[in-house]
């Protein structure tokens, strides 16, 4: 998710889960510290989530700018939120995920605001929209949170 203050409430979130067979990924907005409702307008494209070798990878496209009131623009720089080890229920419609409760969640808000360079900043060209944000998370052998997020342009 992206946030102005490193906290879950009032954050724009892409929530996804995979058990290696079933998966889901949704654009959501967190009003409180609870499972965020699905945005009525899904402003992510080419979305996928996969789990392999203990690593969950979510890939999606979205505009840098906010396209509706439940989106947060990625300009200026924002804090990024990452949570995992929740419980996903794939049989529910829509599928659900719970990250709240004793021992359920590991979370890693970024310590600093993260700047995602525009295509123009990287190459001097015109910024294409949308951009691709690839995030991977999991734990290493010492059980430390590993979080990697990269952006690419189409």
Look up tokens 């307008």; give the residue.
41
pLDDT tops 90 at residue 35: no
pLDDT at 103: 56
What pLDDT is stored for residue 31 in this prediction?
A: 93
Checking if the pLDDT of 152 tops 60, the result is: no
Write down the H helix ranges in the chain. Answer: 119-123
Structure tokens that stand for 106 in this block: 């590991």
**Residue 62: Cβ-neighbour burial (10 angstroms; 0-12, 13-18, 19+):** buried
90 pLDDT more than 80: no
pLDDT-derived band of residue 145, with 50, 70 and 90 as boundaries?
Answer: very low
Among all chains, which residue has been given the structure tokens 């623009």? 73
Taking alpha carbons only, the member of 63, 69, 74, 70 closest to residue 27 is 70
How much is the pLDDT for 153?
41
Of the ranges 11-15, 44-48, 63-67, 105-109, the best mean pLDDT one: 11-15
């Amino acid at each position: 998710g992206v946030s102005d203050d490193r906290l879950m409430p009032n954050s724009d979130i892409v929530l996804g889960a995979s058990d290696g067979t079933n998966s889901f990924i949704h654009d959501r907005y967190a009003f409180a510290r609870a499972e965020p409702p699905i945005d009525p307008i899904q402003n992510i494209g080419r979305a996928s989530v996969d789990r392999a070798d203990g690593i969950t990878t979510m890939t999606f496209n979205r505009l840098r700018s906010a396209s509706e009131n439940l989106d947060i623009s990625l300009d200026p720089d924002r804090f990024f939120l990452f949570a995992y080890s929740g419980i996903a229920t794939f049989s529910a419609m829509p599928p659900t995920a719970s990250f709240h409760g004793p021992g359920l969640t590991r979370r890693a808000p970024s310590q600093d605001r993260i700047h995602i360079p525009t295509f123009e900043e990287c190459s001097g060209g015109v910024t294409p929209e949308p951009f691709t944000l690839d995030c991977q998370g999991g734990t290493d052998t010492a059980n430390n949170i590993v979080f990697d997020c990269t952006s690419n342009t189409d």
